Amino acid sequence: MCGIVGYVGQKDILSVLIVGLERLSYRGYDSAGVAVVSDDEISIWKRTGKVHVLAKELETKNSDATIGIGHTRWATHGIPNEVNAHPHFDAKRRFSIVHNGIIENYLQLKSELIKEGFLFRSQTDSEVIVHLVDKYYNGSLIDAVKLAVQRLEGSFAFCVVSAFNSDCMLVARKNSPLIIGVGEKENYVSSDVNAIIPHTKKVIYLMIILLHKLALKILRFTILMGKSYLINYLMFIGILSDQRKMDMTFLCKKKFMNNHRLFVLS
């Protein structure tokens, strides 16, 4: 099974991500990788095999990044190799994502994006997400991810980082688990609480509450700063026309604060 970790804060980010991945290793995996954002650039390292292979390479790396994501992959689409391993990124390395779940309409989306000139490196369904974000980006990472999510069919939990937004991370989920850990001047995200509990016992389980044919999404499109509390949140109402498509509408206004922001779409 795949695993996601993410960190926003001032600790040694590569160490935090590696330890988080190690705590997810019991789930089974065939490759691992991390991506961090620093000085408006995204640095990515991926390796097949065990997490300690990746950790060995990172021993000589230093990073002052305060935003990072990591992933352990169990191959479903494409063979186990470094190209298919997460994190995935766009052609210009402006965006990077890690994803759990299955994008059921990825072949349709991939064909559309290839015709529009987007270059695919991997055999995975996950890579369509980062290219959709790239396609829809027009100065707002939030708007780009909102539009990308509306195109996805299936289940997903993913994290997005951007070279344009080195002080924030955006995450989204549908029918796949994602958990937020709220720390002291730092915050965490993971698909499994085991990666979070060594750092904080304050967690937020992103939820979907189904009410007949209306899906009340407790969206927690949330600004989590480097603080131990929730600053603000939004709620989405999704009206389900079927199990695949969802129309989402904002109910609250966004509130932007200081650095170390974590935006959560659920």
The residue-averaged pLDDT of 203-214 equals 52
Least confident of 32-41, 93-102, 139-148, 244-253: 244-253
Q: For domain 3-265, give the CATH superfamily.
A: Aminohydrolase, N-terminal nucleophile (Ntn) domain (3.60.20.10)
Q: What residues have CB less than 8 Å from 173, skipping those under 6 apart?
A: 156, 157, 158, 206, 265, 266
- Residue 49 above 90 pLDDT? no
The residue-averaged pLDDT of 103-111 equals 96
- Residue 254 above 80 pLDDT? no
Mean residue pLDDT across the chain: 77
In tens, the pLDDT along 126-169 reads 999 999 999 999 998 888 988 999 899 998 899 999 999 887 88
- Where do we find the tokens 């991370």? 169
- Residue 236 above 80 pLDDT? no
In the prediction, which pLDDT does 137 show? 97
Which of 15-29, 209-223, 224-238 has the highest mean predicted lDDT (pLDDT)? 15-29
- Considering Cα of 150, then 147, then 129, then 238, what sign does the dihedral take? negative
CA distance 219 to 263: 10
CA distance 163 to 119: 19
Q: Which residues pair with 189 in a beta bridge?
A: 6, 180
Give the ranges where the chain is alpha helix by DSSP (H): 13-23, 51-58, 106-115, 127-136, 141-151
In the prediction, which pLDDT does 240 show? 26
The residue-averaged pLDDT of 203-231 equals 41
> Which tokens belong to 190?
């993971």
The residue-averaged pLDDT of 173-192 equals 87
Burial class (CB in 10 A: 0-12, 13-18, 19+), 121: exposed
Q: How confident is the model at residue 82 (pLDDT cuts 50, 70, 90)?
A: confident
In the prediction, which pLDDT does 27 show? 73
Tell me which of 220 and 235 has the higher pLDDT: 220
- Residue 125 above 50 pLDDT? yes
Secondary structure of residue 3 in the 3-state scheme: strand
Whether the ω angle into residue 198 lies within 30 degrees of 0, i.e. cis, is no
Nearest C-alpha neighbor of 172 from the set 110, 225, 85, 246: 246
- Residue 246 above 50 pLDDT? no
Task: Specify whether the CB–CB gap between 74 and 26 falls below 8 A.
Answer: no
Query: Considering the chain, what percentage of its residues have pLDDT values greater than 90?
Result: 46
Secondary structure of residue 157 in the 3-state scheme: strand
- Residue 221 above 70 pLDDT? no
In the prediction, which pLDDT does 135 show? 98
- Residue 65 above 70 pLDDT? yes
Q: What is the DSSP string of 20-86?
A: HHHHTGGG--SEEEEEEEETTEEEEEEEES-HHHHHHHHTT-----SEEEEEEE--SSS-SSTTTSS
Q: How far is CA 105 from CA 146, 164, 169, 258, in A?
A: 17, 28, 25, 37
Nearest C-alpha neighbor of 118 from the set 158, 147, 91, 153: 91
Q: How confident is the model at residue 41 (pLDDT cuts 50, 70, 90)?
A: very high
Q: For the chain, how far is it from start to end, CA to CA, in angstroms?
A: 21
